């Protein structure tokens, strides 16, 4: 009886492993992050209710991490949306950047602005052309920069790859 149980166990394990190994992996992925994934630049005192600029007169700069893993590389991102909530007519803007692996400093692409609440779209193509090699290098560390006018808030951001 014991030999039969072990035989059934090993047979099931082998069949399961074979099925798992041959099952196609869906490479498409999406990532949604809230403003809690961000930090405010330089000791500001007008950062309240995570993601909201509580100042009446000063912009708030946020830096947010962008997922980049071996199975979800940032270089594969085809949809990059930043969701802001803002009153008034001042603009909020956002841009994608990379912290350089092999040198000090960082590089950023063009920033896109919005004067009403809604979505700031950072989808490809990326500009300027000089930024593209930095973004496309997997060795660099990607991040998002969002500048919020007084009274505005960052809801979150969304990335997608095919």
Burial of 64 (0-12, 13-18, 19+ CB in 10 A): buried
- What percentage of the chain carries pLDDT values higher than 90? 57
Over 50: is that where the pLDDT of 99 sits? yes
User: Which CATH number describes the domain made up of 26-161?
Assistant: 2.60.120
Looking at residue 40, what is its pLDDT? 87
Per domain, the residue ranges of the chain are 26-161
Mean predicted confidence (pLDDT) in 104-128: 91
Burial of 77 (0-12, 13-18, 19+ CB in 10 A): buried
Helix (H, G, I), strand (E, B) or coil at 17: helix
Structure tokens at 78: 């085809």
Could you tell me the pTM of the whole model? 0.79
Looking up tokens 């991490």 gives 65
List, for residues 38-67, the tens digit of each pLDDT value. 988 765 666 666 788 888 888 999 999 999
């Amino acid at each position: 009886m014991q030999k039969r149980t072990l035989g059934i166990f090993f047979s099931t394990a082998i069949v399961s492993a074979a099925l798992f190994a041959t099952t196609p992996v869906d490479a498409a992925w999406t990532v949604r992050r809230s403003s809690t994934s961000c930090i405010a630049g330089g000791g500001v005192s007008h950062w309240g209710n995570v993601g909201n600029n509580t100042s009446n007169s000063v912009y708030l700069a946020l830096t947010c991490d962008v997922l980049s893993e071996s199975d979800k590389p940032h270089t594969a991102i085809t949809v990059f949306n930043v969701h802001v909530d803002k009153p008034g007519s001042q603009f909020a803007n956002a841009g994608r950047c990379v912290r350089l692996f092999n040198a000090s400093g960082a590089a950023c692409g063009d920033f896109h602005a919005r004067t009403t609440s809604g979505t700031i779209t950072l989808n490809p193509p990326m500009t300027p052309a000089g930024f593209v090699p930095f973004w496309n290098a997997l060795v660099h560390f990607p991040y998002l920069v969002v500048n919020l006018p007084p009274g505005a808030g960052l809801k979150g951001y969304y990335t997608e790859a095919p």
